[in-house]
Chains A and B, each alone.
Chain A
Amino acid sequence: DAGVTQSPTHLIKTRGQQVTLRCSPKSGHDTVSWYQQALGQGPQFIFQYYEEEERQRGNFPDRFSGHQFPNYSSELNVNALLLGDSALYLCASNPDRVTDTQYFGPGTRLTVL
């Protein structure tokens, strides 16, 4: 049974560019949450998707957007990249509304130059 997977592992972009990160939840999980983890800090909640809609959102600008597909996989898009967007982007999934334990993927390390 595969756990949460993310792609790519690493990514280097320049300021102003756009990036798309991908996440496949653990088998049987329908909810995907995205977190940003800056170096030396705890993860910060970006947003959460289930039933193909954004359901909750943290304190992140509109440059951060997402999508969830019918197979529950998800994408995180960031437009107009800033140097401060450099971070580890983590995806987490949980099965349903009853089981609230979140399982994290390995993350995508984004570097903005």
Chain B
Amino acid sequence: GENVEQHPSTLSVQEGDSAVIKCTYSDSASNYFPWYKQELGKRPQLIIDIRSNVGEKKDQRIAVTLNKTAKHFSLHITETQPEDSAVYFCAASPNMDTGRRALTFGSGTRLQVQP
């Protein structure tokens, strides 16, 4: 089955700096890669996702890049703000004939943005 590794496990940055979180996956059949943000005691919330037919996607201060050959994808957050502090999870999923996906998650990165 799929295996997703995520680094670093913790990341501390100064407000205004950029943060980068990296993930690798093992299953070449995976073609959907969402990123979730989970604040303490709250549900995971989708912040951005990418499919394997594109190499990069941006949404305001957040971007995700995908390298299918190397089987890795990264989350980039620019101009970080204290409210970006949370645990971030990457995930990967293969395409199913049904279209309904089971996500394999990384172990999470705790991002702390220092004011």
Contact = CB atoms under 8 A, between A and B. Distances in A.
Contact of B49 (A59, A101, A104): A101
B99 A97 contact: yes
A53 B101 CA distance: 15
A55 B91 CA distance: 20
Contacts of B6: 42
Contacts of B104: 45
A43 B44 contact: yes
Interface string B1-27: 100101000000000000000000000
B100 A100 contact: yes
A104 B43 contact: yes
B105 A48 contact: no
Contacts of A56: 96, 100, 102
Nearest to B45: A104
B32 A100 contact: yes
Contact of A96 (B45, B91, B99, B108): B99
Interface residues of A, number: 29
Contact of A48 (B89, B102, B107): B102
Contact of A100 (B1, B43, B99): B99
Nearest to B51: A100
Nearest to B2: A45
B110 to A, nearest CB: 9
A105 interface: yes
A52 B85 CA distance: 39
Contacts of A103: 46
Given A35-B105, A55-B98, A106-B42, 15 more contacts: A31-B100, A35-B103, A41-B107, A42-B4, A42-B6, A42-B89, A42-B106, A43-B44, A43-B103, A58-B102, A90-B44, A100-B93, A100-B99, A101-B49, A107-B43
A72 to B, nearest CB: 13
A102 interface: yes
Contacts of A50: 98, 100
18 contacts: A33-B102, A42-B4, A42-B6, A42-B105, A42-B107, A43-B44, A45-B102, A56-B102, A90-B44, A97-B98, A97-B99, A100-B100, A101-B34, A102-B103, A103-B46, A104-B36, A105-B43, A106-B42
